[in-house]
Amino acid sequence: MSAKFISIEGITRRFQAPDGSQTTVFEDIWFAIARGEFVCMIGHSGCGKTTVLNILSGLDLPDDGAAIVDGKAIEGPSLDRAVIFQSHALLPWRTVLGNVAYAISSRWPKWSRSQVEEQARRFIDKVGLKGAEGKKPAQLSGGMKQRVGIARALSIEPKILLMDEPFSALDALTRGTLQDEVRRICLETGQTVFMITHDVDEAIYLADKIVLMTNGPEAMVAEIVENPLPKERDRNQIHRHPAFYAIRNHLIDFLVSRSKTFKSEIPADYDRRKPPVILPQNQPQPLPPSHEAGRKVA
Amino acid sequence: MRQTSLRLRAGIVSLGILLIFGLAWHLAVSGSGPTQQMDPEYAKLMGQTAVQGKSAMPGPLDVLVKIWSHLKEPFYDRGPNDKGIGIQLAYSIGRVLLGYGLAMLVALPLGFLIGMSPLMARALDPFIQIMKPVSPLAWMPLALYTIKDSSISSIFVIFICSLWPMLINTAFGVSSVRKEWLNVARTLEVGPFRRAFTVILPAAAPTIVTGMRISIGIAWLVIVAAEMLVGGTGIGYFVWNEWNNLSITNVITSILVIGLVGMILDQALARVARAVSFPE
């Protein structure tokens, strides 16, 4: 039962061009997410990743097929599914506390003011923004704004967290800390997460499963990669794990070449309804010569 | 410190300009022109211009004296043709606020409707486009004919001229609320009323208030002309009445007062605009 908490069943999305022609962004996509799983979707721009996420959030509807959550087809946005937007999408006329409280009072309209405020402060604390409650978004750095977006999404205690490249607009250092925090919070609460990213390392660090999309238009799910790394991982140590380069190379190979060519050389046993699940294993990786040399000097 | 000194310097320059202008004005009107010998009866009719060579144009000091006399007694009422400038102003401001308030009651909800419904936006567009460029005074005869009351007619004229900028700005502000903010409201399952008041209104408020500021400016311009036309009371009537009395000092005084009130109205809305604006 828990294997299919979220089930994407044959969704297709077409867009009408102004000249009347139709573009199919992606077609007949199937995959599933189990409860408590962290799933990343990787693919090049234009493959419809954001559209898939919008369908999951209920902001967009598929032309064909259905996205099913907990046995019910998604028909519109729901407070059970919180979205962290790429552009943080904070309401600039509200303070940090006001932005988070807005979500909470939408979730629990009957709550008293103090209850709402208490919950808001708890989650602002959780993302490390204590002391910034009274600030307006314009007074915050990009990283802090995204923290508020994360606090807002988590504060309504959603069943599913949807993230659309939440860290892509941040500098590398901030991105790292935020990834750590999101990972920590999601692990603590057993949050089910679907996240879109461009960043292979981000996906390896955060995800349990990685869904690979071929290039659009008419994109499809090429395969689903299981992350061979243990659930307990340390950002500074994962590159020493024997399977790290196996999965990293697999993902990069896909993005560099197979995302383009996959459609022309679809394997004979490929089934759209059950995209192949791959578990990259540690194969011996050839060490670059400079690496050996470096070791001797040291 | 730099800023205060800039302000101070600007103030000094302003004062200098005022002094130079006042002095030039004073000199221009105080020179004596050629005098003519004439029959005393005729001289009486011709006034001081002909007899003493004095310019009929009052100097700045005459105007200051006049302003002082108005300030001493702004609200006197000695019959329909002689009321204090304060009373006249109160009539005008009252009409403007009434017409403007009515326009707000219509423009804001209607603007919301147009901004939120592409259908209504397209359907109402031709009417707005045709009505907007019409001088509000062109409505006056129609108003007088249907309403049959000159005072209410001028309120109607204020209503119609304040309507368009508010309506258009409200519709524009509402229709251009950022999609991502609306998406936030949608993912939080915020109902239509709460969305209108907690997302759309604050997001569109700066644009709406800009429209209201344009409207109050136009309304104050139009009330003077409207009152000149319908007569009776108001600062516009006062100006025209004083022209008929050949009291140029009073005309100049009213010009200053009209400017002052217009500035106060504009500044009041600028304050509102600051209150609703938000940095992004």
Predicted confidence at residue B33, as pLDDT, reads 64
Residue A294 has pLDDT above 50, yes or no: no
- For chain A, state the CA radius of gyration: 20
Could you tell me which residue, B236 or A198, shows the higher pLDDT? Answer: B236
Predicted confidence at residue A128, as pLDDT, reads 86
Asked if the structure places residue B45 within a domain, the reply is no
Predicted confidence at residue A104, as pLDDT, reads 95
Predicted confidence at residue A297, as pLDDT, reads 44
Residue of A59, A93, A107 lying closest to B278 (CB–CB): A93
Asked if the structure places residue B75 within a domain, the reply is no
Q: Which residues on chain A are in Cβ contact (under 8 Å) with B187?
A: 57-59, 77-79, 81-83
A111/A118 Cα distance (integer angstroms): 11
- Stretch (H or E) spanning A26: strand A22-33
Closest CA to B33 of B58, B61, B56: B56
Buried b (16+ CB within 10 A) or exposed e, A105-130: bbbeeeeeeeebbebbbebbebbebe
Instruction: Please state the domain count of chain B.
Output: 1
Asked whether A72 and A138 are in contact (CB, 8 A), the reply is: no
Asked if the structure places residue B33 within a domain, the reply is no
| Residue B133 belongs to domain spanning | 85-276
A118/A120 Cα distance (integer angstroms): 5
Q: At what angle do helices B118-131 and B150-175 cross, to 10 degrees?
A: 140
The nearest CA of chain A is from the CA of B187 a distance in Å of 5
User: Could you tell me the pLDDT band of residue A287, with boundaries at 50, 70 and 90?
Assistant: low
Site of tokens 């002391």: A131
Asked if the structure places residue B30 within a domain, the reply is no
Residue B51 has pLDDT above 70, yes or no: no
The answer to whether the Cβ–Cβ distance between A77 and B202 falls below 8 Å is no
Question: pLDDT tens digit string along B1-49?
Answer: 566 789 999 999 999 999 999 999 998 887 666 666 777 777 776 666 6
Residue A2 has pLDDT above 50, yes or no: no
* Across B251-255, average pLDDT: 93
Residue of A59, A136, A138 lying closest to B183 (CB–CB): A59
Cα-based torsion angle of the residue sequence A145, A147, A152, A157 in order, rounded to the nearest 10 degrees: 170
Interface mutation target, options A75, A90, A91, chain B, most CBs of B under 10 Å: A91
Residue A147 has pLDDT above 60, yes or no: yes
Asked if the structure places residue B77 within a domain, the reply is no
User: Could you tell me the pLDDT band of residue B52, with boundaries at 50, 70 and 90?
Assistant: low
Closest CA to B150 of B217, B51, B236: B236
Predicted confidence at residue B54, as pLDDT, reads 66
* Across A130-150, average pLDDT: 91
A74/A67 Cα distance (integer angstroms): 6
Q: Which residues on chain B are in Cβ contact (under 8 Å) with A156?
A: 188
Find, in chain B, the residue whose alpha carbon is nearest to that of A88: B180
Asked if the structure places residue B39 within a domain, the reply is no
What is the interface pTM, i.e. ipTM, of the complex? 0.85
Phi then psi dihedrals of residue A222, to 5 deg: -75, -50
Asked if the structure places residue B44 within a domain, the reply is no
The answer to whether the Cβ–Cβ distance between A102 and B198 falls below 8 Å is yes
The nearest CA of chain B is from the CA of A55 a distance in Å of 12
Q: Which residues on chain A are in Cβ contact (under 8 Å) with B280?
A: 92, 137-138
DSSP B200-225: IHHHHHHHHHHHHHHHHHHHHHHHHH
Which CATH number does the domain housing residue B170 bear? 1.10.3720.10
Find, in chain B, the residue whose alpha carbon is nearest to that of A91: B181
B88/B232 Cα distance (integer angstroms): 10
Of A60-69, A271-280, B177-186, the poorest mean pLDDT is in A271-280
Question: pLDDT tens digit string along B192-247?
Answer: 999 999 999 999 999 999 999 999 999 999 999 999 998 889 999 999 999 988 88
**Residue type, position A279, single letter:** L
pTM over 0.90? The answer is no
Asked whether B253 and B64 are in contact (CB, 8 A), the reply is: no
Predicted confidence at residue B76, as pLDDT, reads 86
Q: Is B186 on the interface with A (CB under 8 A)?
A: yes
Asked if the structure places residue B256 within a domain, the reply is yes
Predicted confidence at residue A1, as pLDDT, reads 42
Residue of A76, A102, A136 lying closest to B279 (CB–CB): A136
Mean of the per-residue pLDDT values for chain A? 87
The answer to whether the Cβ–Cβ distance between B202 and A79 falls below 8 Å is no
Predicted confidence at residue A286, as pLDDT, reads 56
Find, in chain A, the residue whose alpha carbon is nearest to that of B180: A89
